[in-house]
């Protein structure tokens, strides 16, 4: 591994140098163990501790198949799917690997007694499989997490509609929280040159998801002037949704849970901010019943901030706890666009407010190949910025996942894999200098 790292750290290294580097037989990776998938049975979600389920193991380098690449991972990030995987909720990810493994001889490699997690990476291509011509050893890349087979026509217009659509490093093995990762070459995209490895690794999953959910016509199709209510506006998804709203001429109404998070939204340029803790909303009276008076109180607060207007779009992901309120506060003809259910997936809302006011609920999930590419292009151009707040070592991934699980983080949490320290990997210092305050916005004091 030292030879690989030396080649990456040497700016003179050529593609031929990388092609000549000997691949190790094994590498360090963050894994779950199949024989531990019942370890948290009966424990409340909040008390399930990712530090107990996530292991740092030595894994054999997988065989490279057609259309694939092996990438030396300099940095990765923690996503909420890392949390879901590590607490085995809503289901154990080993079921995904078994199902994928049944598809073909190639995919059988993914069905292992361990699961290497991680749906983001920034690094350097080491090897490419047969049929890969667009990438070569030595290319500096980031990877998005859409894994598709594309053998069915269903996904030919929108690759997210492929019947074999999976999220790499969540529903497939050999993810990015490791020193080496296995990806399909179509996941690869150029690394934004003005960013460090850990900054470049952090937007991937959430940035692409927010792009489809809010900007793409496959999602809410946001336009100039729209009022956009953004739940968790300083979190992983929300920190990108807020930037997209501002960059696209819309008005974000940011919901957060602390003055520190409100300050970050303000720093991004948002003016309408609601601290849900300070306001003390109680959308649910008890386990079964919601309180429409609280929806109204929330709606009144939004109108106070918008000069009397309602929201055109609600950027939804908390799910059960907020969904009734989200449907209620959306303007007539508006859109609730949802990609998740962090607080519970059995949603309840008053349908009269939906149909009588001709509102739409749109489901959105990650992003297709093209959307992921466009989202990365905006990062590379310095129009949308990473929201990295803190970086951990690979060995500390369990702690990083616990912080995200307990909502103690801001924006995105990074993980150094091969990179020996933060701050490496910038090859366009001029562009970086231009955007430095925005790049560091989530870093805190």
Chain residues binding ligand NAP by CB under 6 A are 79-81, 84, 205-206, 209, 231-232, 234-238, 255-257, 261, 276, 317-318, 321-322, 339-340, 342-343, 365-366, 404, 407
- Looking at the Cβ atoms of 351 and 407, the one nearer to ligand NAP is 407
Which C-beta is closer to ligand NAP: that of 378 or that of 413? Answer: 413
Q: Do the beta carbons of residue 299 and residue 331 sit within 8 Å?
A: no
Strand partners, 362: 337
Q: How far is the CB of 336 from ligand NAP (least distance, A)?
A: 14
Which residue in 3, 398, 380 sits closest to 194, CA to CA? 380
CB of 25 to ligand NAP, least distance (A): 34
Q: Which is nearer to ligand NAP, 113 or 344 (CB)?
A: 344
CB burial of 151-167 (b: ≥16 within 10 Å; e: otherwise) equals eeeebeebbbbbebbbb
Asked whether 417 and 387 are in contact (CB, 8 A), the reply is no
Write the DSSP assignment of 118-164 as a string of letters: -S-EEEEEEEE-TT--S--TT-EEEE--EE----SGGGSSSGGG-TT
Q: Smallest gap, in angstroms, from Cβ of residue 155 to ligand NAP?
A: 16
Closer residue to ligand NAP, CB minimum distance, 96 or 135: 96
Distance in angstroms (rounded) separating the CA atoms of residues 168 and 360: 30
Q: Could you tell me whether strands 251-256 and 227-230 are parallel, antiparallel, or unpaired per DSSP bridges? A: parallel
Q: Shortest distance, CB of residue 212 to ligand NAP, whole angstroms?
A: 8
Instruction: In angstroms, give the least distance from the CB of 116 to ligand NAP.
Output: 19
Nearest to 181 by CA among 21, 29, 376: 29
Nearer to ligand NAP, 138 or 235 (CB): 235
CA–CA gap between residue 186 and residue 148 (Å, rounded): 9
Q: Count the neighbouring beta carbons within 10 Å of the beta carbon of residue 312.
A: 20
Closest CB to ligand NAP among 195 and 229?
A: 229
4/146 with CB nearer ligand NAP: 146
CB of 4 to ligand NAP, least distance (A): 30
User: Would you say 128 or 389 has its CB closer to ligand NAP?
Assistant: 389
Buried b (16+ CB within 10 A) or exposed e, 169-194: bbbbbbbbbbbbbbbbbbbbbebbbb
The distance of closest approach from Cβ of residue 347 to ligand NAP in the complex, given in angstroms and rounded to an integer, is 12
Cα separation, 359 vs 349, whole angstroms: 12
Shortest gap between Cβ of 399 and ligand NAP (angstroms)? 15
């Amino acid at each position: 591994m030292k030879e690989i790292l030396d080649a990456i750290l040497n700016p003179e290294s050529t593609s031929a140098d990388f092609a000549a580097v000997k691949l190790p037989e094994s590498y360090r990776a963050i894994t779950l163990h199949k024989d531990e998938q019942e370890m948290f049975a009966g424990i409340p979600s909040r008390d399930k501790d990712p530090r107990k389920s996530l292991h740092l193991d030595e894994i054999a380098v997988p065989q490279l198949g057609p259309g694939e690449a092996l990438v030396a991972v300099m940095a990765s990030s923690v996503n909420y799917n890392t949390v879901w995987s590590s607490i085995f909720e809503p289901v154990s990810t080993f079921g995904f690997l078994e199902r994928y493994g049944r598809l073909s001889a190639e995919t059988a490699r993914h069905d292992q007694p361990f699961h290497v997690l991680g749906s983001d990476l920034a690094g350097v291509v080491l090897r490419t499989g047969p049929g890969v011509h667009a990438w070569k050893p030595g290319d500096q890349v980031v990877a998005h997490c859409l894994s598709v087979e594309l053998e069915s026509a269903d996904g030919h217009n929108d690759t997210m509609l492929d019947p074999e659509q999976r999220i790499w490093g969540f529903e497939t093995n050999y993810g990015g929280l490791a020193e080496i990762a296995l990806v399909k070459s179509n996941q690869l995209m150029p690394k934004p040159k003005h960013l460090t490895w850990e900054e470049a690794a952090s937007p991937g999953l959430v940035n692409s998801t927010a792009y489809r959910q809010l900007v793409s016509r496959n999602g809410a199709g946001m336009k100039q002037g729209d009022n956009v209510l953004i739940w968790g506006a300083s979190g992983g998804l929300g920190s990108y949704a807020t930037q997209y709203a501002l960059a696209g001429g819309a008005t974000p109404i940011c919901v957060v849970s602390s003055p520190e998070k409100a300050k970050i939204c303000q720093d991004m340029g948002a003016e309408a901010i609601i601290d849900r803790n300070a306001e003390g909303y109680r959308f649910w009276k008890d386990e079964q019943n919601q309180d429409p008076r609280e929806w109204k109180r929330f709606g009144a607060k939004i109108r106070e901030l918008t000069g009397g207007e309602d929201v055109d779009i609600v950027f939804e992901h908390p799910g059960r706890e907020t969904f009734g309120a989200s449907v209620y506060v959306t303007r007539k003809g508006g859109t609730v666009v949802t990609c998740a259910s962090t607080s519970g997936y059995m949603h309840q809302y008053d349908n009269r407010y939906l149909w009588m006011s001709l509102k739409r609920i749109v489901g959105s999930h990650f992003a297709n190949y093209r959307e992921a590419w466009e989202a990365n292009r905006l990062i590379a151009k310095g129009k949308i910025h990473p929201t990295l707040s803190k970086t951990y070592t690979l060995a500390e991934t369990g702690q990083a996942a616990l912080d995200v699980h307990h909502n103690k983080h801001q924006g995105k949490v990074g993980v150094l894999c091969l990179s020996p320290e933060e701050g490496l990997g910038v090859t366009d210092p001029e562009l970086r200098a231009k955007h430095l305050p925005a790049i560091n916005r989530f870093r805190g004091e």
